[in-house]
Amino acid sequence: MGVNSLQWYHIPSLGKVGEIALLAGDEWHHCYHVMRLSTGDSIILTDGKGSCMEGRIMKATSNEGLIELIIDRHEDFSNHRGYKLSIGFAPTKNIDRTEFAVEKLVELGVDEICFLDCKHSERNRIRPDRFEKIIVAASKQSRKIVFSKMIDFTTPLKYIQQKKYEQPEIEMLCCHLDPGSKPVFENYLPGKDALLLIGPEGGFSPDEIEMMTALKAKLVHLGPFRLRVETAAIAACANIHLINEIHYRSSKQ
């Protein structure tokens, strides 16, 4: 069985090749009771922070498994992308739509997701534990060894200020369907870190737009149509990756 066919599991910390790891809780329940894996079977373990190991089950009980770490696999699944992508969006009233957006953003590849507290927001509370589980599951599904970071509610202004402090050269793009907005590809320089901001149903308020543009956020659109929040977030993420992929391929010709 090739390494890409192995089941993936999350463990808080990983040791070195030759050491033994303990897998328990929901991850072991899925491994042992759902997938029916047992002694001698191989799996992939990741801590979600960049470490990734192939392991072999040495001992299996109904509650936990002892896994021998046999091969360091972090190079096989490392993401060598040269830019970071952060997305802030206002959660929807229907929480299922927000969960769908987070799942797909993680699968597409995003470094950070922030829930925005806007003037027109329909929701100002979520269950962080629920979204952490979604992030872990989507990361394992899409074979990522560095999990997306999640930031609880903050205003668009505070989030922009935070990102500018952390990443001074970041490109800040505010998705806002307005006559003065330009397509993403006209306002984003490939290879640069990007922050994309998506407002609630009804959009950002005029005051929020004014404050964000005062901090050098650029107004962009995702096409001629008005999109739902979760659609806009996914489309914006895909746009950034596509722009970078086209630039990379053209530079190699």
pTM reported for the whole predicted model: 0.92
Tokens representing residue 54 in the block: 């192939």
| Amino acid 247: pLDDT | 87
Mean pLDDT rounded to a whole number for the chain: 93
pLDDT of residue 177: 82
- 165 burial class (0-12, 13-18, 19+ CB within 10 angstroms)? exposed
Does residue 206 contact residue 250 with C-beta atoms inside 8 Å?
no
The pLDDT value recorded for residue 2 is 77
pLDDT surpasses 80 at 21: yes
Q: Is 133 exposed, middle or buried (0-12, 13-18, 19+ CB in 10 A)?
A: middle
Domain boundaries, the chain: 3-77, 85-251
- pLDDT exceeds 80 at position 139: yes
Query: Which two tokens mark 5?
Result: 């066919």
Percent of the chain surpassing pLDDT 70: 99
Region 61-70: mean pLDDT is 96
The amino acid occupying position 49 is K
Please give the average per-residue pLDDT across 47-66, as a whole number. 95
As given in the structure block, the two tokens for residue 196 are 């994309």
- Calculate mean pLDDT across residues 64-92: 94
Token pair 């830019």 in the structure block, residue:
83
Q: What are the helix (H) ranges across 109-195?
A: 128-141, 156-166, 184-187
pLDDT band at 250 (very low <50, low <70, confident <90, very high): confident
- CATH number for the segment(s) 3-77: 2.40.240.20
The answer to whether the beta carbons of residues 58 and 88 sit under 8 Å apart is no
Cα–Cα distance, 204 to 191 (Å, whole number): 27
Confidence tier at 63 by pLDDT (50, 70, 90): very high
Mean pLDDT, residues 65-70 taken together: 96
Rounded-to-integer distance, Cα 91 and Cα 118, Å: 10
Q: How far is CA 78 from CA 45, 65, 104, 114, 232, in A?
A: 14, 26, 19, 23, 27
Neighbours of 124 (CB within 10 A): 11
Give the pLDDT confidence score for residue 1 in this predicted structure.
Answer: 56
Q: Is the pLDDT of residue 30 over 70?
A: yes
Given this model, what pLDDT does residue 4 score? Answer: 84
Q: Once rounded to an integer, what is the mean pLDDT over residues 131-151?
A: 96
Identify the three-state secondary structure at position 133: helix
Instruction: State how far the Cα of 58 lies from the Cα of 55, in Å rounded to an integer.
Output: 9
* pLDDT tens profile 212-238: 999 999 999 999 888 999 999 999 999
pLDDT digit string, tens, across residues 79-129 = 888 999 999 999 999 999 999 999 999 999 999 999 999 998 888 888 999
The domain covering 85-251 belongs, at the CATH homologous superfamily level, to: SPOUT methyltransferase, trefoil knot domain (3.40.1280.10)
Using N-to-C axis directions, what is the helix angle for 206-214 and 156-166, rounded to 10°?
10
Predicted local confidence at residue 125, as pLDDT: 84
| DSSP class of 148 | P
- Which one, of 42, 57, 126, 134, lies nearest residue 92 by Cα? 126
